[in-house]
Structure 1
Amino acid sequence: MSDVCSAKGCQQPAVWALRWNNPKIHTPERRKVWLACVDHRESLGDFLGARGFLREAVEHVEGADESV
């Protein structure tokens, strides 16, 4: 099974890995990952960006993007 988008109810294959952290609870080097399909990359990125959590958006490599 392919890695799927993290948007609620979406079952599309992930194309992007949105790497983020919440500086109030995570160490600076810690990265959580939300996966995004083409349709949800912008909305998920905007949600994280508005809170100052988004650190980078990179192309998703299946099986490689895990929270660290």
Structure 2
Amino acid sequence: MTLLPQDSELGELVCSARGCTAAATTDLRWNNVKIHTPERRKHWLACDAHASSLSAYLSARGLLREVVPLADEATTTA
């Protein structure tokens, strides 16, 4: 289980897409097994407008492992 810091600890969580400043709604969990251990997860955050394009980018490279709504994260960080 991955725990993200509370919003109050980081400020607003924003989309990882270049130039986007929208609030993130999705956690795209990925790793590159060539350089990371299989259980390690890196995170890209995405807004609703960029979730599909960022997911497609990671998927095309075989890196995407999980897509989790940030609302689900909020319930696991307590």
TM-score bucket of the superposed structures, by smaller chain? 0.7 to 0.9
Give the root-mean-square deviation of aligned CA atoms: 1.3
Give aligned-pair identity as a percent: 57
Greater Rg, structure 1 or structure 2? 2
Counterpart-to-counterpart distance in 2, 1:11 and 1:47: 19
Q: Distance in 2 between matches of 1:57 and 1:5?
A: 14
* Helix, strand or coil at the partner of 2:13: coil
List alignment gaps of at least 5 residues for structure 1.
Answer: none
1:20 aligns with 2:30: yes
4+ residue segments displaced more than 4 Å:
none
> What is the identity, as a one-letter code, of the residue corresponding to 1:25?
I
Residue of structure 1 in register with 2:6 after alignment: none
Which residue of structure 2 aligns with residue 6 of structure 1?
A: 16
Indicate the residue corresponding to 2:53 in structure 1.
Answer: 43
Q: Which runs of 5+ in 2 are unaligned?
A: 1-10
- State the TM-score, normalizing by the size of structure 1: 0.87
Structure 2 counterpart SS, 1:56 = strand
More helix by share: 2
Alignment counterpart, residue 31 of structure 1, candidates 38, 41, 55: 41
